[in-house]
Structure 1
Amino acid sequence: MESSLASREEEAQVSTSSGRKKGGWITFPFIICAVAGIYGSGYGWLFNLMVYLIQEYNVKSISATQIFSVGMVLLTLSSIFHSLRPKPCIVRSNICESATKGQLTVLYIGITMGAIGLGCGRFNLATMGANQFEKPKEQAIVFNWYFFTGFVGIVLSSTVIFYVQSLSWGWGFDLCAGTSFLGWTVFVIGYFSYKHDKLRGSPFKDIARVVVAYIWKRKLPLSDRDEDYYHGSGKIQATASFVCLNRAALKTETDFRPDGSIKSSWKICTVQQVEDFKTLMRIAPIWSTSFFLSVTLAMHASFVVIQALVMDRHLFRNNFEIPAGSMTVIICVSSSISIFMTDRFIIPIWQKLTRQKSTFLQRIGVGHLFNILSMAVAAIVEARRLQVACDNHLQTVPGSVVPMTSTSTAMTPLVIAFAYYASSALTGLIRKDTSWLPDNINNGRLDNVYWTLVVIGILNLGYFLICSKLYKYQNPEKDSEK
C-alpha cells in the first residue's frame, strides 16, 4: 500500500515537473475511439467467420464451428485473391474442392493474429481507461462507457459490416481493416496524454514462488508464533485455512543474508503472497463452474449461426435477407435486456421476499439456472424446426429465425473465450460417437445436442451449489453492502 502511494506521488511529481498533467478526461475520447474501432472491426470478422468458412473455403458446417474457436490483413487478402482459397462448389451439386494446406495456413495465421489483437486490445483498453483516473466514481463512468461503446460496436458490425460482407467479402474485410486502423490511429494520437503505470512484475510469478517455496519447506514443522513467518513490509497475519501453505513463509536460518535480506525469493515468500495464493484457491472451484457454463454457451453461439443458414431469413416480402451472422445482434439485445431485468426486477423482488440482500453467488446461481432454461428452449425449438424440415423435405425451413435466438440466448454474455476450445473438442467427440451432427444438420439431431448441454448444465449447477455451500466470504457484511 505504501509503495503504491509512493508510486502515485512520484507520477504526480513527474506530471507537474513536465508542466503537463497526464491522464484524466483528456484521454477519454482517444481510448473510447480505440474501443469502438477494436469492437467494430474485431467482431465484424469474428462473428461472421463461420459463414465465410462455409461459403468461401467449402468447410462443412459443423467443422466450421470448431475452426471458429481458434489478422485482418491476411483475411482481407484471402477474400481478394482467388489463389488463397479453394474454387467455389459446383452449382446444384455436392462436389466441392477442399482448401489446400497452403490456403489453410494463410487462413489460420490470419485468424490467430486477429484473435490475439482482439483479445489483447479489448481487455487492456478497459483497464487502461480506468487507470487514467483516481476517483472510483470516474473509473466507474469509464467502465460504463466502455461496455456501452463495445455494445454499439458489436451491433454496428453485426448489421452494417455483415451486410457489406454479404455483398462482397473483400469489401467487408476492407471495412473491418479500415475501422481497426482508424481506431488505432486515434489511440496513437493521444499517446502523450496518457498516464503510464510502472511495471510491477507479474502476479503469476508470485503464485509460482509460493508453490516452489512450499515444496522446499514441505517437511518443516509449522509454528504457532507469528514472528516465525516472513512478513516483508506487510503486517497481515497467516490464517488457518490451507495451513500447510504457511510453510512457504516460514523463516529458517538459511533464508537470510547477514544484512537481513533474503537470499532467494523462490525459497521463502511473504505471508501476503501466501494469503493471496490461498484466495485464488478458495475461488478456483467457483471459477471452474463458469468454465463449464461457458462451454455450453460457446457451442450454442456457434450452432445458432448454422441453424440460421438453413432457415428462411427474408423480411419485407423477401426483399431483404438477414445475414446469418447478424444473429449476434439479437444476442446482444437480449443479453442487455436480461441484465436490466435481473438488476432492476429479479434481484429487488428476491430481496423483498427473503428480506435479505442477494449475494454474488446467488446471482451467479440465477445465471446458471437461466442457462439451463435457454438450452432447453433451444432444444424444443430445434426439434420443431427438424419436424418441419422432415415433413416438407426442405433444405431451407420457412419461418422467422428471430424468436428462436431471442428466447434461448438470453444469458450469452457470460461466455469465456477459452471455453470455445473445449466446446470444439466436445463437438468433435459428439461427431465421433453419434450421428447427431452431420454436415447437413437437417439430417441430424441438433436438439439432442442441446439436451446434452441441458444435462451438463444441471450437473454443473449441482457442482456450483456444492462449491457455494463450502465457500466462505472474507467479509460478508462488506460484500453485502457492495
Structure 2
Amino acid sequence: MRMPFGYAANQAFEKMSSYGIMLNMVLYFTRHYGMQAAKATNIILLWSAASYFTPVLAAFLADSYFGRFTIIAFGSFLTLLGMLLFWLTAIIPNLSPCDQLTMICNSPTTSQLAFLYFSLCLMAIGAGGVRASSLAFGVDQLNKKERDEGIIERYFNWSFALTGAAVLIGMTILVYIQENFGWIVGFGVPVVLMFISTLSFFLASSLYVKVEPKGNVISECARVVVASYKNRNLNLPSPNVSNDGGYYYDKDSEMLMPSDKLRFLNKACLIQNPQQDFTQDGRLKSQWSLCTIDQVEAFKSMIKIIPIWITGMIMSINFSQ
C-alpha cells in the first residue's frame, strides 16, 4: 500500500488549520474589525459555502484536465497563502480598523476589507483544491491487488477517522490557544501547521502515483445520454448472454459486459451495425452514437452518488442552523 506520510499529513493538517480558524472567526471579526455579529456571521457563511462549492469545480478540473496531484498541490499553496495573509491582519495594525490597546474601532476602510476578503477567497479556493480529490488521490496509491483485498474500505475508515481527529483538535486546542494567547499566536499556529502540510506533501511527491486526467468528464456523460437516447429502440440482449461483440469496449478494458443496474443506459454501448458505426480501419465514426462500456459504467457511478450528495447537503444545512 503506497500511502506516504506526506499525503496523510497534508490532509490532517489542512483540516486542523481550516477548522481552527473558522470556529472562532465571529469573535475575531467583532473584536478586531468592529463588525456587528450578523454581518460577521454572513461573511463566514458565504466563505464556508464557497469552501464547499469549490471542491466540485476543482474535482472537475482535476479529473478532466490537470490531474489530482496538480490540483491538490495548487490548493495547498493557495490555502497556505490565504492563511498567511489572514494572519497578517492580526499582526499589522494598518490592516485592522480597531486599536487593540484602547479597543476603539472605526469603520473598516475599503482596502482593509479588500485585503480580508482576498485572504478568505484564497483559502476557499485552496480548500477546494485540497479536498476535491483527497480520497480519490489516496485510492490511486493502491495497486490493483491491494484493491481486491478490500483495503479501500479500511483506507476510507482510517481517512475519516484521521480527519475527525484533526477537526476535533482544531476546534478545541487551537480555539483554546486563540482565546488565551491572542490572535497572533492563535492564527500563527494554523499557518505553521499548513506550512508543514504543504511541505510534507511536496517532499513526498516522488513517491506518489500520478494518474493522468481522462478528458472532459461532462462531455463523456453527455455522450452516454445522447447515445442511449439514439439507441432507445434497440433491444438489449439477455443479461445471461456473454458479450459476443454486441457491446463496444476498449481493448485494454477489464469490463466486457455492462452491469444490470440502470440497464436502459446500456443501449449507449450496444453496437447496432458494425458497418455503420465503425470505419474500415476499426475506428468509431461518431462518439455521440456509441460509447464504451467504461463510459457507461462511469456515468452510472455518478448517478448513484447523487442521493448521497443530496443527503450530505441536507446534513450540512442542519449543522449550519
TM bracket, shorter-chain basis = 0.5 to 0.7
Structure 2 distance, partners of 1:240, 1:195, is 31
Look up the SS of the partner of 2:287 in the other structure: coil
- Please tell me whether the aligned partners of residues 223 and 287 of structure 2 are also in contact (alpha carbons under 8 angstroms): yes
- TM (normalized to structure 1)? 0.47
Structure 2 distance, partners of 1:283, 1:90, is 53
- Please tell me whether the aligned partners of residues 231 and 272 of structure 1 are also in contact (alpha carbons under 8 angstroms): no
- Please point out which of 96, 99, 110 is paired with 1:101: 110
Moved more, 205-214 or 71-80: 205-214
- Please point out which of 190, 201, 208 is paired with 2:222: 208
Match of residue 62 from structure 2: none
Structure 1 distance, partners of 2:154, 2:232, is 50
- Please point out which of 34, 56, 63 is paired with 2:10: 34
- Please point out which of 111, 114, 124 is paired with 2:123: 114
Does the C-alpha gap of structure 1 residues 91 and 250 become closer, same or farther in structure 2, counting only changes over 3 Å?
farther
Does the C-alpha gap of structure 1 residues 157 and 277 become closer, same or farther in structure 2, counting only changes over 3 Å?
closer
Look up the SS of the partner of 1:171 in the other structure: helix
- 1:243 paired with 2:260, answer no
Structure 2 distance, partners of 1:269, 1:90, is 68
Instruction: Give the partner amino acid of 1:86.
Output: P
Count residues with an aligned counterpart.
Answer: 270
- Please tell me whether the aligned partners of residues 175 and 186 of structure 2 are also in contact (alpha carbons under 8 angstroms): yes
- Please point out which of 88, 92, 95 is paired with 1:84: 95
Does the C-alpha gap of structure 1 residues 221 and 163 become closer, same or farther in structure 2, counting only changes over 3 Å?
closer
Deviations 1:281-327 (A, max 9, x none): 46535643442332122x23xxxxxxxxxxxxxxxxxxxxxxxxxxx
- Please tell me whether the aligned partners of residues 228 and 251 of structure 1 are also in contact (alpha carbons under 8 angstroms): no
Structure 2 distance, partners of 1:187, 1:279, is 29
Report matched runs for 1:183-262 at 5 Å: 183-201=197-215, 203-213=217-227, 217=230, 222-224=233-235, 226=237, 230-233=247-250, 234-237=255-258, 241=262, 243=264, 246=267, 251=272, 255-262=277-284
Q: Deviation of residue 275 (structure 1)?
A: 4.9
Match of residue 291 from structure 1: 313
Does the C-alpha gap of structure 1 residues 255 and 58 become closer, same or farther in structure 2, counting only changes over 3 Å?
farther
Q: Deviation of residue 31 (structure 1)?
A: 2.6
Deviations 1:199-254 (A, max 9, x none): 44454442132234457x3xx66121548965223532586957388368564666
Q: Deviation of residue 181 (structure 1)?
A: 0.8
Match of residue 53 from structure 1: 29
Please list every run of 5 or more consecutive structure 1 residues that lacks an aligned counterpart in the other structure. Answer: 1-22, 301-482
Structure 2 distance, partners of 1:145, 1:31, is 13
Identical aligned pairs, as a percentage? 27
Deviations 1:417-452 (A, max 9, x none): xxxxxxxxxxxxxxxxxxxxxxxxxxxxxxxxxxxx
* CA root-mean-square deviation: 3.7
Look up the SS of the partner of 1:207 in the other structure: helix
Look up the SS of the partner of 2:210 in the other structure: coil
Look up the SS of the partner of 2:7 in the other structure: helix
Structure 1 distance, partners of 2:24, 2:185, is 14
- Please tell me whether the aligned partners of residues 228 and 264 of structure 2 are also in contact (alpha carbons under 8 angstroms): no
- Please tell me whether the aligned partners of residues 10 and 201 of structure 2 are also in contact (alpha carbons under 8 angstroms): yes
Q: Deviation of residue 190 (structure 1)?
A: 2.2
Report matched runs for 1:268-347 at 5 Å: 268-278=290-300, 280-281=302-303, 284-285=306-307, 287-297=309-319, 299-300=320-321
Match of residue 385 from structure 1: none
Match of residue 24 from structure 1: 2
Look up the SS of the partner of 1:68 in the other structure: helix
Structure 1 distance, partners of 2:307, 2:135, is 26
Structure 1 distance, partners of 2:121, 2:28, is 16
Instruction: Give the partner amino acid of 1:100.
Output: T
Q: Deviation of residue 261 (structure 1)?
A: 1.0
- Please tell me whether the aligned partners of residues 41 and 179 of structure 1 are also in contact (alpha carbons under 8 angstroms): yes
- 1:133 paired with 2:142, answer yes
Deviations 1:44-88 (A, max 9, x none): 212222222222223322332322132102101222223223236
Look up the SS of the partner of 2:235 in the other structure: coil
Please list every run of 5 or more consecutive structure 2 residues that lacks an aligned counterpart in the other structure. Answer: 48-81, 238-243
Structure 1 distance, partners of 2:23, 2:219, is 35
Q: Deviation of residue 197 (structure 1)?
A: 3.1
- TM (normalized to structure 2)? 0.68
Structure 1 distance, partners of 2:8, 2:297, is 36
Does the C-alpha gap of structure 1 residues 24 and 82 become closer, same or farther in structure 2, counting only changes over 3 Å?
same
Q: Relative contact order: is structure 1 or structure 2 higher (C-alpha 8 Å, sep ≥ 6)?
A: 2
- Please tell me whether the aligned partners of residues 72 and 177 of structure 1 are also in contact (alpha carbons under 8 angstroms): yes
- Please tell me whether the aligned partners of residues 225 and 265 of structure 2 are also in contact (alpha carbons under 8 angstroms): no
Match of residue 149 from structure 1: 162
Deviations 1:2-46 (A, max 9, x none): xxxxxxxxxxxxxxxxxxxxx636x2x333332332222222212
Moved more, 196-205 or 46-55: 196-205
- Please tell me whether the aligned partners of residues 89 and 97 of structure 1 are also in contact (alpha carbons under 8 angstroms): no
Instruction: Give the partner amino acid of 1:99.
Output: P
